Amino acid sequence: MPAFLPEFYAAYGSNLWHDQMRGRCPDAVVAGSLLLTGWRLVLRKFALIEPDAAAACPVGLWRITQADLEALDRYEGPHTYRRTRLRLPDGSEAWTYDEIVHRPGPPAAEYVQRLRNGYRDFGFDTAVLAAAVAASGYREDG
């Protein structure tokens, strides 16, 4: 049985997709989801979240092991994202990743599909994702 950390990882991008997380972090377990008020989903080449008092962004929570956290560090950084603590609505915190290198978009079709898969897997309303995709300049026809 894996030894879970007493903490969680909050995903807002392609790590919402269960198949991707199973490949990256085989011991990770879905722990729930929530709507993160005061944050907006933004898509450039990849997803990020930015503070925005008028917005809300769904996030998926994963219960992770130390090995999972180390794997996430390899996949998400260290040169593109930085691991940081995110305050959740109940006052607790979860690990997440902040983009530290500006990578202009729009995102690739394959990446947009991974985001859509993740929103489907968590049962999120897709309006937030659709707005971010539209704002990114992504076009369905290429």
**Could you tell me if 105 and 137 are in contact, meaning their C-beta atoms sit under 8 angstroms apart?**
yes
Q: Which residues are annotated as a binding site?
A: 9-14
Q: State the pLDDT at residue 5.
A: 67
Q: Is residue 102 scored above 70 in pLDDT? A: yes
Separation of alpha carbons 28 and 51, rounded Å: 27
Task: State the chain's mean pLDDT as an integer.
Answer: 93
Q: Which residues are annotated as a binding site for substrate?
A: 9-14
Residue 4 banded pLDDT, cuts 50, 70, 90: low
Rounded average pLDDT over 98-112? 92
User: How much is the pTM?
Assistant: 0.92
Separation of alpha carbons 93 and 128, rounded Å: 22
Classify domain 4-129 at the CATH superfamily level: Gamma-glutamyl cyclotransferase-like (3.10.490.10)
3-state secondary structure of 97: strand
Q: Dihedral sign, CA of 92, 97, 100, 106?
A: negative
Q: State the pLDDT at residue 142.
A: 56
Question: Parallel, antiparallel, or unpaired for β 47-65 and 29-43?
Answer: antiparallel
Residue 103 banded pLDDT, cuts 50, 70, 90: confident
